[in-house]
Amino acid sequence: MSADLFLAARRRLLLTAAAAFGLQALPVARAATPPETGLQTLRIGFQKSAVNLVILKQQGLLEKRFPNTKVQWVEFPAGPQLLEALAVGSLEFGLTGDSPPVFAQAAGKDLLYVGAEPPKPLSSAVLVLPGSPLKSLADLKGKRVALQKGSSAHYLLVRAVEMGGLHWRDITPIYLAPADARAAFEKGAVDAWAIWDPFYAATELAIKPRALATGQGLSSNNSFYLASRPFAEQHPQAVRALLDELSRADAYVQSNRKETAQLIADFSGLSLATVHLFISRRPVSPVGPLTPAITADQQRVADAFHQLELIPRRIDVAQIVWQPGRTSVASR
């Protein structure tokens, strides 16, 4: 038996044994990953909502998977800022919601979708203050609504306005980063706020706002892993290894909620109550390549922004979807 076959057989045996005994922690033993020639540094962009990435960071799992690579972690307040860094070569890999990649592609940024998590529609909402007279989405007409431009909340609000029987011109969008938006929201400087977890959860616990709508029935609120083209095309094994480790991290999250919440709270400074709330709205989230269904869903996001002239041209999402079996993107 060759060394490779022996390692594969040994790994299958270990995983079978772990399943039989109901082990909950991430497996320590794993087949060695061949070193990635030339991959001296791996810079990863993430946000507080990036649960799987936070677990990898806090447990040092990528440093173990890539022992010859310097792994650097860079936190961002939202997806648009993260993708700008990715586009200019300051990152190799990162996670965002659905809208940031659309705006990036429309602006000609050279990025690739390399992975996706399942939908999280309950993890975002359009909020109003407890005493607000607004009772329905139709009541947003003529109102000032805070949101991060180009974020997942942007598409949520586009759909919320549509569902309320309104046109985008019927509202006044106030483009603010999450921290500034919360301040404006609490002061009453805006009438509503479109936001995602964990900012949503923290505000919910602090001031008990009302949700005019969540993403349910409006937006899938998909999460995407993106990479710079040079990284994805020159180091496909590293991309596959990242997706594998992210799925392992999610398995840990599902089996170790208490420990996960503490890890995230320690990293983020959020209260345990906030972390438990936003994790409770997060479904099982293994990571894999984009499916045709997810690609089609993302195309609907792009088309909605184009129809409202919020992006300058129509884009074809599939053109920048990385194909795991190749070192090139989809050609259709």
Q: What pLDDT does residue 164 have? A: 97
Does any domain span residue 159? yes
Does any domain span residue 10? no
Does any domain span residue 1? no
3-state per-residue secondary structure call for the chain: CCHHHHHHHHHHHHHHHHHHCCCCCCCCCCCCCCCCCCCCEEEEEECCCCHHHHHHHHHCHHHHHCCCCEEEEEECCCHHHHHHHHHCCCCCEEEECCHHHHHHHHCCCCEEEEEEECCCHHHEEEEECCCCCCCCHHHHCCCEEEECCCCHHHHHHHHHHHHCCCCHHHCEEEECCHHHHHHHHHHCCCCEEEEECCHHHHHHHHHCCEEEEECCCCCCCCEEEEEEHHHHHHCHHHHHHHHHHHHHHHHHHHHCHHHHHHHHHHHHCCCHHHHHHHHHCCCCCCCECCCHHHHHHHHHHHHHHHHCCCCCCCCCHHHHEECCCCCCECCC
Over residues 265-307, the pLDDT tens digits come to 998 899 999 999 999 999 999 999 999 999 999 999 999 999 9
Q: Do both 259 and 176 map to the same domain?
A: no
Q: Do both 107 and 247 map to the same domain?
A: yes
The CATH number of whichever domain residue 204 belongs to comes to 3.40.190.10
Over residues 198-218, the pLDDT tens digits come to 999 999 999 999 999 999 999
Q: Do both 279 and 131 map to the same domain?
A: no
Over residues 70-94, the pLDDT tens digits come to 999 999 988 899 999 999 999 999 9
Q: Do both 203 and 275 map to the same domain?
A: no
Q: Do both 106 and 52 map to the same domain?
A: yes
Over residues 99-152, the pLDDT tens digits come to 999 999 999 999 999 999 999 999 999 999 999 999 999 999 999 999 999 999
Choose the weakest-confidence range: 32-36, 62-66, 201-205, 260-264.
32-36
Q: Do both 125 and 113 map to the same domain?
A: no
Structural domain including 299 reads: 33-119+222-320
Q: Do both 135 and 57 map to the same domain?
A: no
Q: Do both 157 and 192 map to the same domain?
A: yes
Domain boundary among 155, 189, 214: 214
Q: What pLDDT does residue 53 have? A: 95
Does any domain span residue 112? yes
Q: Do both 139 and 267 map to the same domain?
A: no
Q: What is the mean pLDDT of the chain?
A: 87
Does any domain span residue 290? yes
Q: How confident is the model at residue 5 (pLDDT cuts 50, 70, 90)?
A: very low
Q: What pLDDT does residue 49 have? A: 83
Q: Do both 127 and 199 map to the same domain?
A: yes
Domain boundary among 153, 187, 214: 214
Does any domain span residue 328? no
Domain boundary among 214, 230, 248: 214
Q: Do both 134 and 261 map to the same domain?
A: no
Domain count, the chain: 2
Q: Do both 165 and 292 map to the same domain?
A: no
Does any domain span residue 329? no
Does any domain span residue 137? yes
